Amino acid sequence: MAMLDRPTQETLADLRAEIDRIDARMHEILIERGEIIDRLIAAKSRSGSGSAFRPGREADMMRRLVARHKGILPLDTVESVWRIIISTFTFVQAPYTVHGDVSAGDAPMRDCCRFHFGFTVPFVPHLGIGGVIDAVSGSQGDLGLVPVEAAAGPWWTPLTEPAAPQIIARLPFVERRDHPAGMPLFVLAKPLSDGAARDVMLYSVTLERWDDALPGRISDAGAEIISVADHALLISAPNALNVREILPKGADFAEIGSHAARFDFSRPANEARSGSAT
C-alpha cells in the first residue's frame, strides 16, 4: 500500500538525463573558467605580473575543497580533478614542463606527477636530483619534483646559489593515509616574486662540527631536520621561528624556499587546519 502512495518513481532514463544535464553544466563552467583565464592573461600582460604559479592560493583552494567535500565521491578523485584543473589552466597561462627525479623509481614519481599535474603538462624524468635542478635553472618557468626523503647526499646545497631554484611547495597538499599519490615531494621553481606560501620555511645549514644537542633543540623549537649529510642539514621551521637562535655559533645557513603548512586529513579537522612545521 505504501508503494501506491508514493509519487511516481524516477526511471533510469530520468536519472541519466539528470546526469547528462549536470555533465553539460560542468563542461560549461570549465569553459567559463577558461574565458576568465583569457582575461587574466590579458590583465597580467598589461600589469607585467610575474609567474603564473601561486602556491599560497593553490593551498588555500585545496583546504577549502576538503572542508566542503561530502558525499560518496572519494576525496582522492576530487583532489586530483581540482589539481589537474589548477595545473592545466596555469599551463594555459604560461606553458611549463615538470621534471622529476626517478632515481628511486619511475612509476611512483610519474604517478605523483600525473595525479597533481595531469597529462597536458609535459613530464621529463631525470636520473638524479642534479638533473632536475639544472633543468629548472635553465628553463623559463619549469617545475622540479624531488622526494622529500631523497637519499642523495646534501642535494639541497645548490639551492643556496644566487638565482638558483627554490622550494615553492610540498606535495601532496592534502595528506592522508592511503593517498594514491602520497609520496612526499618538494616542488622546485625559479624564485617567485610574489604568490609564495610562507607558512613553513626551509633552510640549508652547514655546521662547523656536529652538536649532539642540536636535534633536541630544533625539535623543542617546533622545527624539524628533514635530512642530514655529514655536517649539512636541511631544516624546516615555522615562519615565526628565528632559526639563527637555535643553531650553534659559526653555523652557516641560508633560506632555500618555503611552502604551505601541511593539511593532514587523517587528523581531527581543527588540528589538521593548524598545519605542521614540515
Q: The sheet that has 200-206: what strands, in order across it?
A: 123-126, 98-101, 143-147, 185-189, 166-171, 252-259, 200-206, 232-238, 224-229
Please give the backbone phi and psi of residue 43, each rounded to the nearest 5 degrees, phi first: -65, -40
Dist CA 274 CA 156 (whole Å): 27
The pTM assigned to this predicted structure is 0.86
**In sequence order, which residues have a C-beta less than 8 Å from that of residue 52 and are 6 or more positions away?**
44, 90, 93, 94, 141
User: What is the pLDDT, as a whole number, of residue 48?
Assistant: 54
Block mean pLDDT (10 aa), the chain, length 278:
56 93 95 88 65 85 90 91 92 93 94 95 96 95 93 91 94 86 94 88 94 92 93 94 90 94 63 42
- Which pLDDT does position 258 carry in this prediction? 96
pLDDT confidence of residue 104: 87
DSSP 19-70: HHHHHHHHHHHHHHHHHHHHHHHHHHHHHT---S--HHHHHHHHHHHHHH--
Question: Is the previous residue joined to 7 through a cis bond, with omega within 30 degrees of 0?
Answer: no
pLDDT value of residue 176? 82
DSSP summary character for residue 170:
E
11, amino acid identity? T
CB 223 within 8 A of CB 241: yes
- As a 3-state breakdown, the chain gives helix, strand, coil percent values, each rounded to 5, of 40, 20, 40
**168 burial via Cβ count (<10 Å: 0-12, 13-18, 19+):** buried
Contacts of 101 (CB under 8 A, 6+ apart): 109, 126, 127, 128, 129, 131, 132, 144, 145, 146, 147, 150, 152
Q: Give the CA distances from residue 210 to residues 216, 226, 231, 245, in Å, rounded to whole numbers and listed in that order.
A: 13, 16, 6, 17
State how far the Cα of 96 lies from the Cα of 88, in Å rounded to an integer.
10
Alpha helices in the chain (DSSP H): 2-5, 12-47, 55-68, 75-93, 106-117, 129-137, 214-220, 269-274
pLDDT for res 93: 87
Per-domain residue ranges for the chain?
A: 50-197+266-272
CB neighbourhood size of 4 (10 A) = 5
> What does DSSP say about strands 98-101 and 200-206: parallel, antiparallel, or unpaired?
unpaired
pLDDT at site 50: 54
pLDDT of residue 1: 44
Q: What is the pLDDT of residue 39?
A: 87
